[in-house]
Structure 1
Amino acid sequence: MVRSDSEQGDSNAFDRKIIHIDMDAFYASVEQRDNPDLCGKPVAVGGSAERGVVAAASYEARKFGVRSAMPSVTAKRQCPDLIFVRPRFEVYKAISRQIREIFAEHTTIIEPLSLDEAYLDVTENIQGIPLARDIALRIREKIKAETGLNASAGISYNKFLAKLASDHRKPNGQFVISPEMGPAFVETLPVGKFHGIGPATSAKMNALGIFTGLDMRNQTLEFMNANFGKSGSYYYWISRGVDERPVRANRTRKSVGAENTFSTDLTEAEVLIAELEPLIDKVWRHCESAGTRARTVTLKVKFADFEIITRSRSVSSAVANRDGLAEVAIGLLQDNMPFPKPVRLLGVSLSSLQVGNGAEPQLDFGL
């Protein structure tokens, strides 16, 4: 919906009460809870010291710069005492269901983003609690009492600001961004901190002289659309603290993908295959955690001159395991080698996701 700035104050979107709940270092915190020997130590869930990628890192590990999606070798180099733990997705999913039941005590409008993260619309809540901050506090207290885990919460009048607010007081905190605070809160924020703006888009904005929310707000809608396509309008409005996206209950992810931009352009086939492996790991972790499967695999390649190509292949039956996904994805890469130009980015995705093996849909694992 395109509106003039003068129309913004008339929107009842400012009357909404949205909570974003985000569990603190969820997978790693579960492992520390269940194994007291890990408490207070740097823990990485997933991968190993030799290969793979980090699925989650404890706060002790994050102090060393260890983060999710980081190659395990890099993580170990940055934190020599890092302890690797195999993921237990069935345990995480069971806890996620407990948390979802707590949400449901307050609202039916729940949009899960991952096993450990969700938006809640509590504008009209089941218990009739007038203040969203009090609802968030009750939810966090009950999660702690029933699971022993900490959650952070952000409260605002839209999804974009609620997400920013939950990050503001992590871990184990909550923060409110009111309608009066929204535009000012956004204007000092670096564009790289905006949810939904990745490193490549952030770099493009910086090249155009856009470094903060205020810089973005100073651009016209036409300029943003011309430079950022269909996302331009979204960026234009969130820089003004406006986000009219509703909280969507029973949200279903249609595809899942992962990609990586390399620090240097690559040409060698074996190096490109090695870089594809952790992306395959990440995509397959989603399928395992969400209980989904798909038949169509897509390879994305961005060259040094920013040209992008995609190559897709559909198989006769759903990809059944990680090795099956790797076979198709690496096959697509090899079929198109050698590339005419150095490669800047690789990505792999699965589309038309469906719940597999009769599994009940779980909270989405956002990538």
Structure 2
Amino acid sequence: MASEPSVVTVTGPDRSALLTDLTLRFGHIELVSEREIVLPGGGRGHELTVRHRPFTSELGGVVPPPPPPAPLQAAPEPPTQLHVAPEPVAAPPEPPALVPDLAPPAPTAVPTPGAAPPAPDPAAAERALAEAREQAEALLAEAREQAQQALDQGRADAEQLRADARNEAARVAALAAEEQAAAVAAARAQVETELEAARAEHQRALAEHQAGEEQRVQAAVAARVRDLDNASDGRRVGAEHEARRVIQAAQEEAVRIKQTAEKDVTEARVEARGITREAREQADALLREARAQADLAGVESKALSEAVRDAQHRLRELSSQITSQLQAAQKDLNDRTSLHSVQARIRAGGNEGSAVEIAEHLSKILRGAGSAEEQ
């Protein structure tokens, strides 16, 4: 078991399936070691040790790796057994808000009569739109980087698979050539041995039968040599056929591995396109929401300006009414309290109120003017 948190060891019967699974789980990986083992079921398998990049969030904290994808349903092969080293997993940080929350507007003070209305501030809407655009561009850049990493990893895996296929084909071809050379050498040695035996037998036959058996022995020796030549040719042809068969099987295996690598690269490209399309859709949604918020802020600012103008107009009207009422009350008070007016009413014989009644009447007029001004 690996001691580093970023080092993972897995075992399984299919090497390409193990590499694909690790790539989907951890993204970019680096092969540390590889060896062939015997699985618990008795079959041959592979043990791979890889190193992956640690997962980091935007705030700098370590985040847990994504969940592994569902294993493929493969009938002829046993399921892949993964022995993953335990990794420290930190609590995921709070995701940053995509659009900043707007603070509630402060209570607007009623302007004094004659003051200019506050101008609408579109800076908040512009800032929200700029932040949404920056976040959308960051998401798009991150999606492009992830897609490029996936594509680069797919290409690297494809190159590694091609190199492994070439090495395997070269090894099989070398082994077939060695087997062919050994078979030819063995056939030649056997033929030489049999030829030596035939020559010895021929010499013995010549020594024993010098007279009448020479022609018969020669015919027998010639027939034996022909049989040995035919047997040697047959063995050589069989060895050549076996070598061709082994080379053809190696070429077919290399073609199959190449097709598998191209398929993996195609799937990586499709996944990268999907990530890029999803990031673009999220960016468009963010931009639309920011524009809607900016439009809403503009409409609210216009409505607030209209309300302020109406309030100022109403205040001006009330001020003019209060001023006219005060002037009328002042004029009435001057008319009622002037010496000439009092003397004129006394001469006319009219009933004139006392000073207390005049003061009460004046206070009522002033109170009425004050209540009108407050309203």
TM-score normalised over the length of structure 2? 0.18
- Give 1 or 2 for the bigger CA radius of gyration: 2
- Bigger proportion of residues as strand: 1
- Bigger proportion of residues as helix: 2
Which structure is higher in RCO with an 8 Å CA cutoff and minimum separation 6? 2
TM-score normalised over the length of structure 1? 0.19
